[in-house]
Amino acid sequence: MRVLGIDPGLTRCGVGVVDVSPDRTARLVDVIVLRSAPDLAIEKRLARIADGIEAILEEHRPQAVALERVFARSDVSTIMGTAQISGVAMLLAARRALPVALHTPSEVKAAITGYGRADKKQVGAMVARILGLDDVPKPADAADALALAICHAWRSGGAPSPDGDDAGLTPAQKAWRAAERASTVSGAARRLKR
């Protein structure tokens, strides 16, 4: 499964593409941070980021797009820029009939590190490890975009069957698989009690 992950931002927008096989092995395809200057008019900034996302979509032809879910922060200008770029990305995906998934930062952190409150350094280190990279992708927007793509693939289509072998999985992948199994079992138990 090829997934395009986008860490939306108006000044810096992380865009990463990964291929994830059914055994959850992930391979880096491309990563870039698109930028727009704060002194440009908003419509030009949106167009600049949109052109960059469009080029990546065209070049790599992903099967799905994963975005960070916009959530309330104290800085309204940050929320607006993030929401605007998210809307642009969703529109571009919709024009290609690509499924779009929104993941919260804590979902991504839990998928990548096994801990929903991991810091950026921990996420970056695990992204590098999962992808077999010598260095953590920089800036953090790049690592975050790759983390989003990996998270989505693992949650939606890159996962092995529940009775598959855990051999070769990273500790984070094993933790994620264990959490998936536990939630399936507890969900089934709740349904039986009804």
Which listed residue (19, 107, 141, 144) is catalytic? 141
Whether 74 contacts 93, CB under 8 Å = no
Which listed residue (19, 68, 107, 144) is catalytic? 68
Annotation says 7 is catalytic: yes
Helix (H, G, I), strand (E, B) or coil at 129: helix
Which listed residue (7, 19, 107, 144) is catalytic? 7
In 3D space, the residue among 75, 11, 78 whose CA is nearest the CA of residue 39 turns out to be 11
Annotation says 163 is catalytic: no
Residues sharing a CB contact under 8 Å with residue 5, sequence separation 6 or more, in sequence order = 14, 15, 16, 17, 18, 65, 66, 67, 144, 145, 146, 147, 148, 149, 150, 151, 152
Annotation says 51 is catalytic: no
H or E segment to which residue 137 belongs: none
3-state helix, strand, coil split of the chain in percent (to 5) is 50, 20, 30
Strand partners, 31: 16
Q: b/e string for 72-81 if b means 16 or more Cβ within 10 A?
A: eeeeeeeeeb
| Separation between Cα atoms, residue 56 and residue 32, nearest integer Å | 9
Positions annotated as catalytic residues are 7, 68, 141
